[in-house]
Chains A and B, each alone.
Chain A
Amino acid sequence: MSSKPQALTSTGPMRAFATNSKKITTELIEINEDLMGFNEYLTEYYKQLASAWEVAQKKVNLKAPDVPQDVEQIETFKRIWIDIFDNDFTELFDSKKFGANYGKLVSKELELTKHWNNITNVILQSANLPSKEEMDEVYKEMHSLKKRVGKLELELKKKEMSKK
């Protein structure tokens, strides 16, 4: 025997509401899980930046230990600072460890976007509007049709040319 609240959601508009709520809740739970992973990679990202900054600053201190006293010295100091920082950060951005972590960070961000898309799809469908997947199907079909028409036009053109 079903309880009254269960019976209430098994039919009519409340059924759809219950199903949608469940879908949205599931997505929100998964968002929290992915957010933890995202934060992990984001922390590593900033850790790498902070570490590169620290090393670069130490190099600057070694190369230009005195506080600049005039405009010319400030310019020289600035040049040294920019060159060392650009070199060190480019080395970081070129490194495998940065690329790998950044790839994972973006991947997690995409997971979060996917959950958001899924929630939006639930809302769109509850309002009888096409979901992202349905629109993608339309775009795909249009693309394929355009290609076919293009090829047919080309063939037609070739036939006309050969008649002439």
Chain B
Amino acid sequence: MNSESRIDPKIIEEMLKFTKNVMDAPKLVSAPDEISLEVTPHDIVHELDKTRLLHYRPLTEKQHKTPLLISYALINRYHILDIQPEKSWVRNLLLQGFDLYMLDWGSPTSMDKYLDFDDYVNGYLDSAVEHIKNESSNEKISIQGYCTGGTIATAYAALHPESVKNYIATAPVIDGWRDTTVISNLAKHMDVDKMVDIIGNMPPEFMYYCFSVLKPFEQGIEKYVKFFKNIDNKKYVDNFLRVEKWLGDTPPIPGELFKQWIKDIYQDNLLIQNKMYVGGERIDLKKIDMPTFTQIAVGDHLVSPVCSMPLHYAIGSEDKTLRMYPTGHVGMIASSLSQKKVLPELGKWLAERS
């Protein structure tokens, strides 16, 4: 009896409220297909195979002369950079007067299992750059690469320095041996030849597994508890669902590209040693001689800061900047911190060189 009387009635109240919120959720929450992740207006200006080049419509009267192309990661899709107006990387850059393009890698199918690094670097990315150069009448453009897209852009900047005016590397995967993340640990023990031989492309389910072991209790329990507690908060729910939809939309990675990725970056660590070959050409990071801005998130649990940082020291550029931010991998590109600190610093740096 005594122990019963010690229970705070508020606990019961909270539990009942939580149960009610769970029951009400289906009525209050939109279905994923009702949520559109295409926020900022844009035009599709170029297509090659399944890739698309998006050109965002300007939000300022005057624009900087040099266009900026974003090479997004191969995991998940580019929508996180424009997930909602207040946290949009894209919108912020447009408001700072940049002429902005985004390369959407599309969703590869079984047919694309032989696409490799060469196709992505010297094919798709190069084709997008050439298109922008022609459309904007510029001989060089600025490129930003994020995460795995940063690795592709790094390879491109080293192989085609004549086309890159400024290079921005945002949490790029560079030094695989230094990476201390769970993903790197799994990658190092993976029989990638067997995987690609038997199943072709790297399936999204495997990526979902990798995500599920990153902060499993915070992400697997607490996140959803918070969601149900805030079910009446329309803005919170909308933001949550957008991010959830984005998280659930991971395209497969072409088998050959994935194989080279795991072997050359995580297992043999060839890129940072200037021993990696793409399309028969060796990637020499010293050839990255254009102004370069490297952005790193201190709390990144997908790409360790020590995995990205070596890029800054390995490149040949004399005009190079390294910035570290007290946030995580996604927080760096889609948070209030990115709006208040990361983007203004990037914009200032880029404007001076555009």
Q: A106-B191, A110-B199, A143-B114 are in contact. Are A94 and B222 (CB under 8 A)?
A: no
Kindly state the separation between the CA atoms of A110 and B6 in the bound complex, as whole angstroms. 55
Q: Does B123 contact A (CB under 8 A)?
A: yes
Instruction: Name which of A2-10, A13-21, A66-74 contacts chain B.
Output: A66-74
Residue on A nearest B254 in the bound complex, by CB: A143
Q: B190 interface residue, CB < 8 Å from A?
A: yes
Q: Which of A32-40, A81-89, A119-127 is near enough to bind chain B? A: A81-89
**Are A147 and B119 in touch, CB under 8 angstroms?**
yes
Q: Which of A54-95 contact B (CB under 8 A)?
A: 69-71, 74, 78, 81-82, 85-86, 89-90, 93-95
When the two chains form their complex, are residues B198 and A113 in contact, meaning their CB atoms are under 8 A apart? Answer: yes
Question: Is A30 part of the binding interface, using a Cβ–Cβ cutoff of 8 Å?
Answer: no
Contact bitstring B93-124, A, C-beta under 8 A = 1, else 0: 00000000000000000111111000100010
Q: Could you tell me if A74 and B11 are in contact, using CB atoms closer than 8 angstroms?
A: yes
Chain A residue total in the interface (Cβ 8 A): 36
Q: How many A-B residue pairs have CB under 8 A?
A: 85
User: How far, in whole Å, are A99 and B110 apart by their CA atoms in the complex?
Assistant: 28
Of B14, B115, B185, B215, which contacts A143 at CB under 8 A? B115
A142 within 8 A of B: yes
Residue A1 lies at the interface, judged by CB distance under 8 Å to chain B: no
Q: Within the complex, what minimum Cβ distance (angstroms) separates A85 from chain B?
A: 5
Q: Is A25 an interface residue (CB 8 A)?
A: no
- Nearest neighbor of A79 in chain B, beta-carbon distance: B222
Give bound CA distance, A142 to B189, whole Å. 32
Knowing that A70-B11, A102-B189, A135-B110 touch, tell me 17 more A-B residue pairs with CB under 8 angstroms: A69-B6, A71-B10, A71-B14, A74-B14, A82-B222, A93-B185, A96-B185, A99-B186, A99-B188, A100-B189, A102-B186, A103-B186, A110-B191, A113-B198, A114-B198, A143-B114, A144-B114
5 nearest A-B residue pairs (beta carbon): A103-B189, A143-B114, A70-B8, A99-B189, A93-B182
